[in-house]
Amino acid sequence: MMQKIAIGADHAGFNLKERLKKWLEKNGHTIRDFGTFSEDSADYPDFAHPVAEAVQDKTFDLGLLVCGSGNGVAMTANKHEGVRAALCWNEDLASLARQHNDANVLCLAARFIDPGEAEQILDRFLNSSFEGGRHARRVGKITC
């Protein structure tokens, strides 16, 4: 299923974001790149907030955020109501984040994930779906 995906990264995630952007486009997804657009030092919240807002307001189906550890972008995105950003470092976590947690933003650690593995993680994230059921009750309890 082709989806609309908001993407963003800081300087540490720039190269991986660019690779994943090409992968997404090659696979027919519509994307909007919220930056950064170079390897120059940049603050991850400047890119995580716009991506999270695009998912929060449902302008985009899903989000993809990349920084050095993945933690900064995940923490930032999760400040937005209705955003469930998941830091995933393997395919199984990506599946479970979608299936059990209804994650709508994938966060990746550029300094710790091989680019080929990142493509596989992204593919699994995009091709997994929320199972609902008992998981829906739990997801419903996330918002404060």
Q: How does the average pLDDT of the chain come out, rounded?
A: 96
pLDDT of residue 55: 98
Q: Report whether pLDDT(132) > 90.
A: no
- Active site residues per annotation: 67, 100
Its domain, for residue 130, covers 4-140
- Proportion of the chain above pLDDT 90, given as a percent: 89
Count of domains in the chain?
1
Give the Cα-Cα-Cα angle 35, 7, 136 (nearest 5 degrees): 145
For residue 88, the domain's CATH number is 3.40.1400.10
Q: Report whether pLDDT(143) > 90.
A: no
Tokens of residue 141, six digits: 């309890």
Distances (CA, A) of 52 to 19, 103, 118, 132, 143: 21, 12, 20, 22, 15
The structure's pTM equals: 0.96
Q: pLDDT tens for residues 55-81?
A: 999 999 999 999 999 999 999 999 999
